A and B are shown apart, each in its own frame.
Chain A
Amino acid sequence: MAQLKILVVDDEPGIRSGVTRILGNFHMTYPFMDEDYTFKILEAATGEEGIEIIDREMPDILLLDNKLPGIQGVEVLEYVRKKNYDIVVAMITSYASIDVAVRAHNDGAIDFIPKPFTPQELKASIEQITKQQYLRRITHKLKVEGKKVRFQFLSVLSHELKAPLNAIDGYLKMMQERQMGESVDDYTSAIERSLQRIESMRNLIMDLLDFTKVSFEKQIEKMQNVNLRELVSMAVVTVSPYAIHKDIHFVTDIRGCETIWADPNDFEIIMNNLVSNAVKYNNTGGTVTITVDCNDNEFSISVADTGIGINAADKDMLFEAFSRIKNDKTRNISGSGLGLSIVRKVVELYHGVINVESIPDRGSVFTVIIPTLQVTNIKTEL
C-alpha cells in the first residue's frame, strides 16, 4: 500500500474540507501498478502557505486554485517548475479563462478540475493524475536503470580488456627477469599463453565492433539479396581451422529458398556466431548440423551441435552481454561473452526470436526464426 500526498491550495475552506473528505478514504488499484494507492491530504489557504508546505512536505500531487488572495495559483505552478519538483499539478478553478489555462498548461499543469465538482469528478481526475504520475516515475526509473546497465557494461568491458593485458604483462616481466630460465625454450608456454590472450582480446574487440555496428549503423542501402548457401559455407570456412583441429564434421541442409532480403553483415554475424559456438562447445569428433529453411511466413536458421550442452538454469543468462557460463567444461574455452547477446540484438532488429534447446552432455540446438514479411519490410522500418 503506497500513499500519495495531495496538497490542496484554495482559499475556500469548503473546497479544502470537501477534498479532504472525498479523498481521505479513497484508494485506487490498477492491474499494472504494484500496489494500491491511498491519499494523505494537506491543506493551504494561500499560495504563500502552499509554497511553504511544498518545500517542507514535497507532495506528489498539487490541486491548485488560481484565484488566491496573495500570489496567484499560476505563480505557485511556476515556482514548482523552476524548482524542478516531481509534482503533478492540476488547477481547480471556476475562472479558467483561456489565457490562464494556456499559461498554466505551458507551465506543466496537466489537468483542470472545474469548480464546483462532484465527488465522482474529483475522484476521476485524481485517478487520471495518479496514473500519469506513476507512469512518469516508472519511465524515469527505467531511464536511470538504463544508464546503470550501460555503466555495468562498460565496467565489465574494461575488466575484460585489462585482464589479458595484466596476464601478458606478467609473462613479459617473467621473461625480462629470466625467472623461468635463460633459454627461450623455458618460456614456450608463457609465449603461447600470451598469444592466446592477445587472440581472445582481438576477438573481444571484433565482437565489440559488431556490437556497436548493430546498435547504430543500420543503413537501408545495405539491404540486398543474401545467398543462403554462400552464407552457410562462408561461416563453415571461417571456423574450419578450429573445426579441423577438433575433427568436427559439418552437415548442411538448405531448403525452401536460396536467398533472403537482408543486410548481409547481420546474417554473417548470426551465422558466424552460431556456427563457431557449435564448434567451440563441441566434443572432439562431434557434428555440427546447420539447417536453413523458409516458407511464406518465416525463415529459420538452426545450428545443432553434439557438445557439452547447457543446464536449464544457465539458459536464461546465455544471451546477456558478458555472461559466460563458468564450469569445469567451459573452463578451457575462451570467449568474449558477447557473441550470443549480439546475435539476439540482430535477430530482434528483424523482429525475430532466438531460442535454445539443450541436453547437458548431449548437445544444443540454437534456432533463429525471423518472420519473412518483416524481412521484406524491414527496409521501410529502418
Chain B
Amino acid sequence: MSSKIYTVLLADDDPDYLFQVAFFLRRAGYEVVAVESQAEAEQVIAKIKPDIAVFDLMMESDDSGFVLCYKLKRRYPDVPVILATAVSRETGITFGLNSGQDRDWIRADLYLEKGVRPEQLELEIKKLLKI
C-alpha cells in the first residue's frame, strides 16, 4: 500500500458485520467511517469525500443502497462504490453491472454478494482504488 491513507465509507445495518469489516480494514491501514444507516451515510457524504464507499443494499428501506449510490455519484462522480447485498443469493433475483442498462440505474462500480469475507472485500477495494 502506498503512503496515502485511503478513506472508506462503510454503511451496513448489521452492527457485527460493520464492526468486523471496519476492524479488518483499519488493521489493513485504511481510515474507515462506519455508519449503520442510510441517513447517517447521507450526512457523511454531505461533509466528507471518501476515496471509496461500500454500501449495504437494504437498510432503513429496501433500496437504501441504491439511493446512496445515486447520491454519492451525483456529488462525487469519481468515487467508486461497491454495493454489497444478500439479494441475489437468497431471492434468485439477479442483477449485475454487465449491461449498459444496469449500469444506468445501478450507479455502483461493483456489486458483491453480502457475507463476502473482509479479505475479499479489501482485494476488490484495492482493485477499484487501483493500488
Q: A residues bordering B, Cβ < 8 Å?
A: 151-152, 155-156, 158-159, 162-163, 166-167, 170-171, 174, 179-180, 193, 197, 326-328, 331
Residues of B contacting A197 with CB < 8 Å?
Answer: 16
Considering the chains assembled together, what is the distance between the CA atoms of A356 and B14 in angstroms?
28
B16 contacts A170, C-beta separation under 8 Å = yes
Q: Scan B3-38; emit 1 where CB is below 8 A from any A CB, else 0.
A: 000000000011111011001100100000000110
Using A167-B14, A171-B20, A179-B27 as known contacts, say yes or no to A327 and B60 having CB atoms under 8 A apart. yes
Q: List, in ascending order, chain A residues with CB within 8 A of B13's CB.
A: 326
Query: B20's contact among A158, A167, A326, by CB below 8 Å, is which?
Result: A167
Task: Looking at the assembled complex, report how far the CB atom of B5 sits from the nearest CB atom of chain A, in whole angstroms.
Answer: 20
Q: CA separation between A347 and B114, bound complex, in Å? A: 37
The SS class assigned to the A binding surface is helix
B91 to chain A, nearest CB (A): 4
A-B contact count, CB below 8 Å? 47
- Chain B residues whose C-beta falls within 8 Å of the C-beta of A163 in the assembled complex: 14, 17, 86
Contacts of A174 in B (CB 8 A): 20, 23
Q: Which of the residues B16, B24, B37, B118 comes within 8 Å of A326, measured between beta carbons?
A: B37
Q: Closest residue to A161 on the B side, CB-wise?
A: B90
Report if A331-B27 is in contact (Cβ < 8 Å); known contacts: A166-B17, A326-B59.
Answer: no
The contact sample of 11 A-B pairs, CB cut-off 8 A, is: A159-B90, A166-B17, A166-B114, A167-B14, A167-B16, A171-B20, A193-B15, A197-B16, A326-B37, A327-B60, A331-B36
Pick from B23, B27, B92, B115: contact of A162, CB below 8 A. B115
Give the CA-CA distance A167 to B16 in the complex, in Å: 6
- Write out the residue numbers on chain A whose beta carbons fall within 8 Å of the beta carbon of B118: 170
